[in-house]
Every structure is written in C-alpha cells, then in structure tokens.
Chains A and B, each alone.
Chain A
Amino acid sequence: MRITQFLASKLKNFSNLPKEYIERSRKQVYWQTPREKNYLPRTVERKRFRYTTNRPWTGQFRQQNMPATMRRKVLIEPVEDWSFFRGDRIEVLVGKDKGKQGIVTQVIPERNWVIVEGLNWHYRRVGAEKEFPGIIIKSEAPLHVLNDIRLVDPSDLLGTEFEWRFTEEGEKRLLWGEITFQPKLSTFEMDIMEEMGIKEERTPAKSYWY
C-alpha cells in the first residue's frame, strides 16, 4: 500500500469509529417510503451539513445541524494530497501565535482545518447563568491548512515546502494468528455438518430458477 493511501485512510478513522457509525449518527431522514415491494425506495434526508470543530458523531454537531435549518454553503478549496496529520509538527503563519511551532492534535478535512495543541487559542466561557459568570476554559481555534500553517522539517526545525514522491515497494500485509483454514472440496455447510456428525442422505429434487 502506498504511504499516501495509508495515511489518507487514517485521516478520518483516527477516532476508532467505523465509517458506518459516523454515517449513521450524522443521518437526518425526514421521510422515507416503507421498504416494501410495492414502494419505490425513496428517501428525503439532509444532504448538506455544516462541519465545524464539532465532530459528526457528537451531540453538538446535531445541535448545529438541527432539522430544517439551512446555512450558507462554505466554499472549500480542493486539497489534492492531504499532508497534515495528527502528531505532525507545524509552524503557524498567522495570528497572535505567528511563528510558533506546535503539534497537530486534530484534523478536520471537511473544512481544510487542523487544530494545533496550545496555539491559536482564546478563552471561552462555559455554563454562564444569571448569578454565575461561568467557568473560563481555554480552547484552540482551527487553522486553515493552505493559508495559515506550514509543515516543519524535523532535521532543522524550520518551516519548509514539501512534495509527495513515490517509493516502489511491494505491498506488505500483517496477519494475526495461525492459519487454521484448510481448503477442502466442500461448502461451508457441508463442512459444518461433517464436523457435527450430521448425515444427510436425501438429495433435493430438481427445481427451476427463473
């Protein structure tokens, strides 16, 4: 597997959540036909979501994308080879932390954003009430990957330009456990029946498929 593909596959799955779960928790179905034979499979659901620092499987995301709320489309510039991953050291080019270096803690490819640990932060007030001014916490704001940051060369710790190149290497695959499957001229069912000692003498009568 090429390293680009490998890293790209890590991009969205870093939270150890399967794609299906993320899809399912984000879904907003307004109306759908019953999944019966006499209905055409039609679904009316939300297609456009506003992606923010709240991840699609959280309640905050749902709250920001409440049913029947529409927000303006955000223009996303296409990034061909995504090159910013968790744990990368980057340099900030804008804002009050301009020139500082930090480690990427979160990647939001839907908006071309990364969040850097301890940089580009502001104070946020949480849990304010009439009598109580709330607790102040520090939260990091996202940085745009094309304009606001650049990668740092690990050899001299200076910001650099970069380029993807290929290495010609064979595909390596790691497999766990011992191989217990031995190919045999039998189907799964026949094998299990033999294992359990079930004997079946009868043969099915001829039937027609059409």
Chain B
Amino acid sequence: MSTILKKCFNLAKTVRTATITSLLTAPKQQWQALSAAASQTPHAQMMHTSPMRHGLMEFFDDPKHWSENDIKVGRAWRTDELRIKSNKELHQLWFILLKERNMLLTMEHECNDKMEIFPSPERIDKVKISMDNLEKVVRERNTAYHLLETGETGERPQKRVNNAFGLQVNYKSCEHVLPPFMNLKWIKSRNIGFGGRAVNRFLLKYREQLYNAKRKAKNRSRNEVMMILRRNPNFDLEVLRRKFPDVDIDKLRSADKARGHYVPKVGV
C-alpha cells in the first residue's frame, strides 16, 4: 500500500475520532476540522476532544454513550453540501461514514441481543442517507466526464422489454466478452417474444386485476367525497374538486349517501 493511501486512512481515522460525537451535527464545523486535518496533518493530534480508539474498539460507540437512552445528533449530509467538496474529501468522508455505520450496526445488534433499547436508531438512517447522497454526487461527476468524453452516460445500459409473460420489464444489460452474434449460449438462453394460449389467458386475468384495482380506488374516493359531504354539507367544493379530480362532485351532492341525517330546511 502506498504511503499516501496510508496517510489518507490515518487522516480519516483522526478526523473520525475528533468529531465522533458530532459527526452529523454540524457539517460546517466538521468540514473545518476535516480541511484543517487535511492541510496540517502533524497538528491533527491537537484537536482531539474524545480519546482515540484503536482497532476493534472502533466497532463500539464512545463508552460514555453506552448507558445513555438518547444521543443527540444532527442531520444527514445533503447533496448540495457534498457537491462543493473535492473528490479527496468525499473519499475520506465515505470511510468515516462506513466506520460509523459499522459501529451503529454493532451497537444495534448487541442491544437487540441484550433486550435493551438502542438509543437514537435514526442515526443509521442518517448515515445511510449521507452515503446515498455521496454516491449520487460521485455518479453525477462521473456521468459528466463520460458524457463529455464519449457522449454516453457510462451507466449500465437499461431498456424496457417484454418478458415471457408479455409484461414490460426493465432489462439491465450485462457485460460480455463476445459480441452478441457470436455468443451462441446467450442466443439459446434468451426468449424472444411471447404468445400462446396460456399467456393470453394470463394477460386477460392480469389486466382484469389492474382494472379492478383502478375501479376500487375510484369507488373509494367517491365514497370518501360522499362521506365528507354528509358530515360537512358546507365543505368547500373547490377544495374537494381539486383533491378528487376524477369524481363528479355535482352529481354526488344529490346522492342519497351524501345526504346528512337531519331534516332539510324548507324554502331555503
């Protein structure tokens, strides 16, 4: 392993321990810390707030959090904040987040084992959101490069195809050594087209199912409008029209179900 790589990992480690309590709390402070650590490696030791944990103890939370019921953390990293960071910083942050996630998973597992409440379980989701956002940013950058250089996104090619049941599915292409016309195994394995009596019958029933779901949804919204009108005859009809666009509200107003259980005022 090259020395620079080692340095990088060391950096990630120091930064993590320094900001372990507020990893997610304040991205601004964290980035100041991170950039400070990145620029002046020898002085990174100065900013430790919590004792550095080595090796296997990195899989556990800070010992002072062990007995707590609630751990205060901030929010996840947003895409906008990550977009302005350099590739190197994103790479370091990825490993910080990876270690944090391992730590949280370990703690959650142990808490479940010992029938204890895992404090602040939303931390796992926050780390996950941060990692997803980070990967999204990296992907954006790579796509931009590929579009500039090759005119293609560089993503895995996908297309909509019909499968053997006659349903539209998303087909993700795979990488092959041979071109398609030479790849006999692949030609034999794939099914082209669909048909036959069984498939037609299946499609008929499948479409019936879809239609039924649609019909039921329509009935449900119709009933809901009638119930609202029944309980609240003076409800704003414009709001109802905007909320339920496919329901004929004027027709429903005179429906029997929409009439409330009261004597109508005569002559009004």
Contact = CB atoms under 8 A, between A and B. Distances in A.
B89 interface: yes
B126 A196 contact: no
Contacts of A57: 122
Contacts, number: 119
A78 interface: yes
Contact of A78 (B31, B124, B128, B243): B243
A80 B243 contact: yes
A76 B76 CA distance: 33
A18 B142 contact: no
A196 B224 contact: no
B28 A180 contact: no
Contacts of A181: 83-87
B90 A188 contact: yes
Interface class of chain B by DSSP: helix
A69 interface: no
Contact of A75 (B28, B124, B146, B231): B231
Given A78-B243, A175-B80, A20 B173 contact: no
B148 A18 contact: no
B145 A185 contact: yes
B129 interface: yes
A111 to B, nearest CB: 15
A3 to B, nearest CB: 19
Contacts of A80: 239, 242-243
A181 B89 CA distance: 9
Nearest to A178: B35
Contacts of B166: none
Interface stretch (A26-34, A152-160, A202-210): A202-210
A182 interface: yes
- For chain B, which range describes its interface: under 10, 10 to 19, 20 to 34, or 35 or more residues? 35 or more
Interface class of chain A by DSSP: loop
A43 to B, nearest CB: 16
A1 interface: no
B66 interface: no
B235 A21 contact: no
B268 interface: no
A139 to B, nearest CB: 21
Given A80-B243, A188-B138, A208-B175, A195 B2 contact: no
Given A179-B84, A192-B88, A210 B228 contact: no
Nearest to B182: A208
A207 B175 contact: yes
Contact of A195 (B4, B27, B157, B224): B4
Interface of A: 16-18, 20-21, 24-25, 57, 75, 77-78, 80, 173, 175-182, 185-189, 191-192, 195-198, 205, 207-210
Given A80-B242, A210-B174, 9 more contacts: A20-B128, A75-B231, A175-B80, A177-B31, A177-B35, A177-B85, A186-B145, A188-B90, A188-B138
Interface of B: 2, 4-5, 8, 27-28, 31-32, 35, 74-76, 80-81, 83-91, 121-122, 124-126, 128-129, 138, 141-142, 145-146, 148-149, 156-157, 173-180, 186, 224, 227-228, 231-232, 235, 239-240, 242-243
22 contacts: A18-B76, A18-B125, A21-B124, A75-B224, A75-B227, A77-B235, A78-B228, A173-B80, A175-B81, A176-B81, A177-B35, A177-B84, A181-B84, A181-B87, A187-B141, A188-B87, A188-B91, A191-B87, A195-B87, A197-B4, A209-B173, A210-B176
